[in-house]
Structure formats: structure tokens, C-alpha cells
Structure 1
């Protein structure tokens, strides 16, 4: 579920499925299937993390409210 959300957010960031697919090195159709709930793998999560410029833990780990530091949890 978190990978699906991450891919949807990345699509919004990159603008199109095609652009995100090029960055991640997969087909746009593969990403669209993933976003609709079909598929997903560790390799795809790693590609999403790389495209987002974050760690795999940040893609798949515990959710952190936007007003809190993802490292220490302090509100800011």
C-alpha cells in the first residue's frame, strides 16, 4: 500500500507516467498497474526510493506526520 502511494506521489512530482517510468527504468504500463494495486516488488520499491531521492525505509517504513522530523519525531 505504501509503495502504491509513493508511486502515485512520484507520478505527480514527475508530471507523467512516461517521465517517471524513464527515471525508474520500467514501462509506464508497469507503473500504472502498480498504482492501481497490481504487482509491486522489492526491486520496484528500490527504484521508487532512488527516483524520490530517499531511503527504502522512507518509502516503506512507518508513516511520519508532515509536521514532524522523520528522524527524531520532533514537531517543527
Structure 2
């Protein structure tokens, strides 16, 4: 479910399924099938999606939640100079 959501967000970031598929090195049918719930994702697909997003697989799938008072990118406390 989280991989499907991540792929939909990446599609929006890249502008199209075709562009995202080219960046990930997979077919458009593959990622559309996963995003639409017709196919199951794989670890390899999650790794490719994470690489396209510039994050770890754990971050992509929501395994590492940032505290609300910290920047999710650098970890600095919000409001600190």
C-alpha cells in the first residue's frame, strides 16, 4: 500500500508514468500496475523508487518517521537558529 502511494507521488513529481518508468528502468505497465493495485510490488521496485526519490527505502515506505519538532531532512529542531 505504501509503495503504491509512493509511486503515485513520484509520478506527480516526475510529471508522467513514462518519465518515472524511464528513471526507474522499468516498464510503464509495471509501475502503473503496482500503483493501481493490479500487481504486487517487489523489493527491487521499492529500491528503484527510493533511488528515483533520492531517499532510502525505509524513508520511502515510511519506516523512519521524523519527530514533529524536527526537520525531516537534517534533523534540526524547528525554530532553532
**Smaller-chain TM-score range?**
0.7 to 0.9
Does residue 17 in structure 1 map to residue 17 in structure 2?
yes
Q: CA deviation at 1:48?
A: 0.3
Q: 2-side partners of 1:45 and 1:36: how far apart? A: 15
Counterpart in 2 of 1:69? 71
More displaced 10-residue stretch of structure 1: 14-23 or 61-70: 61-70
Q: 2-side partners of 1:66 and 1:19: how far apart? A: 33
CA RMSD of aligned residues (A): 2.3
Gaps of 5+ in 2: none
TM-score, with normalisation over the residues of structure 1?
0.82
Counterpart in 2 of 1:4? 4
Aligned residues: 76
Q: CA deviation at 1:69?
A: 2.9
More displaced 10-residue stretch of structure 1: 23-32 or 55-64: 55-64
Greater fraction of residues in helix: 1
Question: Post-superposition, which runs of at least 4 consecutive aligned residues in structure 1 deviate over 6 A?
Answer: none
Q: 2-side partners of 1:33 and 1:56: how far apart? A: 20
